[in-house]
A and B are shown apart, each in its own frame.
Chain A
Amino acid sequence: MNQELPSYPPLASFDEISIWKKAFHSRSFVIGATLALVILIAGVTSVFWTPYAIDVLDVSKRLKPMSSEFWFGTDQYGRDIFSMLMVGARTSIIVALIAVGIGMLIGVPLGLLAAAQKGFLEELVMRTNDLIFAFPSLLSAVLITSIFGPGTINAVIAIGIFNIPVFARVARGGALSLSGREFLLAARLSGKSSFLITLEHIIPNIANLLIVQATIQLSLAILSEAGLSYLGLGTQPPMASWGRMLYEAQTMVAFAPQLALYPGFAIIFSVLGFNLLGDGLRDLLDPKMRRRVA
Chain B
Amino acid sequence: MLWFAFLRLIGLLTTLLAASLVIFVVLEVIPGDPAEVMLGLNAQPDTLAALRAELGLNAPLSTRYVNWLLGMLQGEFGVSYTYSVPVSELIGERIQVSLPLATGALILSTVIAIPIGVYSARYHGKVIDTGIMSIAQIGIAIPNFWIAILLVYVFAIVLRVLPSGGFPGWDVSFFGSLQALLLPVIALALPQASILARVMRSALLDVLHEDYIRTARAKGLSNKATLWRHGVRNALIPVLTILGLQFSFLIAGTVIIENLFYLPGLGRLIFQGITQRDLIVVKSSVMLLVALTIFVTFLVDIAYAAIDPRLRRRA
Contact = CB atoms under 8 A, between A and B. Distances in A.
Contacts of B274: 142, 145-146, 233
A107 B201 CA distance: 29
Interface stretch (A50-58, A60-68, A185-193, A263-271): A263-271
A249 B152 CA distance: 13
B198 A134 contact: no
Nearest to B142: A268
A246 B146 contact: yes
Nearest to A267: B143
A136 B293 contact: yes
B19 A260 contact: no
A131 interface: yes
Contacts of B37: 147
Given A127-B14, A231-B271, A254-B157, A268 B141 contact: yes
Contacts of B290: 134-135, 139
A134 B248 CA distance: 7
A293 B198 contact: yes
A291 B255 contact: no
Given A131-B19, A135-B19, A136-B293, A146 B282 contact: yes
A275 interface: yes
Nearest to A257: B153
Contacts of B14: 127
- Which of under 10, 10 to 19, 20 to 34, or 35 or more describes the interface residues of A? 35 or more
Given A142-B270, A275-B141, A137 B153 contact: no
A182 to B, nearest CB: 24
Interface centre among A138, A144, A226, A276 (most CB of B within 10 A): A138
B202 interface: yes
B27 interface: yes
B115 interface: no
Contact of B205 (A227, A243, A260, A291): A291
Contact of A264 (B15, B31, B143, B157): B143
B283 to A, nearest CB: 9
A258 B23 CA distance: 41
B260 interface: yes
Contacts of A233: 274
B106 interface: no
Interface string B140-163: 111101100110110001000000
A267 B271 CA distance: 23
B189 to A, nearest CB: 16
Contact of B140 (A144, A230, A271): A271
Contact of B286 (A139, A264, A272, A293): A139
Given A127-B15, A246-B146, A144 B26 contact: yes
B269 to A, nearest CB: 11
A136 B251 contact: yes
B143 A223 contact: yes
A29 to B, nearest CB: 13
B226 interface: no
B225 interface: no
Contacts of B23: 143
Interface string B254-290: 0110011000000000110110010100100010011
A133 interface: yes
A260 B137 contact: no
A217 interface: no
B256 A230 contact: yes
Interface in B89-138: 137-138
Contact of B143 (A133, A227, A293): A227
B26 A138 contact: no
B255 A133 contact: no
Nearest to B294: A134
A231 B23 CA distance: 21
Nearest to B18: A131
A143 B286 contact: yes
B149 A249 contact: yes
Contacts of A291: 201-202, 205-206
Interface of A: 127, 130-131, 133-139, 142-147, 219, 223, 226-227, 230-231, 233, 243, 246, 249-250, 253-254, 257, 260, 264, 267-269, 271-272, 275-276, 279, 291-293
21 contacts: A130-B15, A130-B297, A131-B15, A135-B22, A138-B255, A139-B289, A142-B274, A142-B282, A146-B273, A147-B26, A223-B143, A230-B145, A230-B256, A231-B255, A260-B146, A260-B149, A260-B150, A264-B146, A268-B138, A275-B140, A293-B202
